[in-house]
Amino acid sequence: MGLGKGSLRNRVLTSAAATALLAAGTGAVMGTAAASADAAAGCAVTYTSHTWGTSSGGFTAFIDITNTGDPLSGWALTFTFPGTQRITTGFSAQWSQSGPLVTARNPTWGGSVPSGKTFGIGFNGTWTGSNPPPTDFALNGVPCTVKLVPSPTPSPSPSPSPPRLRILISPSDLTVPEGGTASVQVRLSQRPPGNVIVGTARVYGDTSLSAGPPLTFTPDNWDVPQPLTVTAAEDDDAVNGSATFDSRSSQITGSSAFLWEAVEQDDD
């Protein structure tokens, strides 16, 4: 049976209205997604360096990174040296350099970073002519706000120790058998002025993994590695769980947090 002109016109108008609503809704979703993407990223960087030498020499740099956006499951920090600087060794990240461009990617144990979390990385390097600090830091491609801590006046000979006290933990990857234990080795980067107690807490991940007890370092044993025991309790699942731990000390001035990860080797 055929359609009357009025019925056909009404169906066309109804279809057109539905199409317009769908387009408007899609645009709203896309706009919301774009806004979410814009809001998801954010970072703040504090760059501290200690330089030695006159017309050439070496330097140690520490970079504290704060995630001011959404939680990260992986990260890459980039920056450009404004001079002739070259990185020789780095720590707490996977470092690479191409010309003046430097990239620091998360280690396997430190890819997850919650919102508001501050973590530290650093490196040793060389320079000739001058050693101006980089200023164009970006985290996952998003520019960071930058605070530069001036380097002390260069000295003609290298400083024997880094300028800041840090917690050092190895290995970078730890596997713990389910129902068993394994250990990471903990030490300090330099002699502390007094006793330092390093505590460790699980910040997120598999609750069957735990670490402890606290470790105490003195001005006499600061460079002697101490084992920190990680325990993987028996559970009912059949997957390899993982957890991220935060080791820090209230006796260390400034940010002392060291994030690391342990993986449970399931036996089910």
Look up residue 206 and give its DSSP letter.
-
Span of 2-11, 44-53, 239-248 with lowest mean pLDDT: 2-11
- Segments making up each domain of the chain, as ranges: 43-149, 167-265
End-to-end CA distance of the chain: 67
Phi, psi angle pair for 149, to nearest 5°: -100, 115
Q: Identify which has the larger pLDDT, 221 or 242.
A: 221
| 151 confidence band (pLDDT: 50, 70, 90) | low
pLDDT of residue 100: 96
For residue 74, pLDDT beyond 60 = yes
pLDDT value, residue 131:
92
Of 174, 167, 172, nearest to 231 by C-alpha is: 174
Dist CA 160 CA 183 (whole Å): 29
Instruction: Give the mean model confidence (pLDDT) for residues 135-148.
Output: 96
- Whether 90 has a pLDDT exceeding 70, the answer reads yes
The 3-class secondary structure across 123-154, one letter per residue, is EEEEEECCCCCCCCCEECCEECEEEEECCCCC
| pLDDT of res. 29 | 35
Order of strands across the sheet that contains 76-80 = 94-98, 101-105, 76-80, 138-139, 142-143
Query: How confident is the model at residue 12, as a pLDDT?
Result: 38
Percent of all residues in the chain with a pLDDT value above 90, rounded to a whole number: 45
Is pLDDT of 99 > 90?
A: yes
Q: Tell me what the mean pLDDT of segment 46-72 comes to.
A: 90
Distance CA 30, CA 114 (A): 26
Protein fold of 167-265 = Immunoglobulin-like (2.60.40)
User: Side chain identity at 87, as an amino acid letter?
Assistant: I
> What letter represents residue 143's amino acid?
P
1 pLDDT band, cuts 50/70/90, is very low
* Backbone phi and psi for residue 125, each to the nearest 5 degrees, phi listed first: -150, 175
Mean pLDDT, range 64-93, rounded to an integer: 93
Rounded distance between C-alpha atoms, residue 104 and residue 62, angstroms: 12
Query: What is the model's pLDDT at position 156?
Result: 52
Q: Does the structure show a pLDDT above 50 at 6?
A: no
Using CB atoms within 10 A of its CB, is residue 217 exposed (0-12), middle (13-18) or buried (19+)? buried
Amino acid at 56: S
**Mean pLDDT for the stretch of residues 140-154:** 83
3-state secondary structure of 167: strand
- Residue range 43-149 in CATH 2.130.10.10: no
Report how far apart, in Å, the C-alpha atoms of 247 and of each of 169, 184, 188, 202, 258 are. 9, 11, 12, 9, 5
Would the CATH topology of 43-149 be identical to that of 167-265? Answer: yes
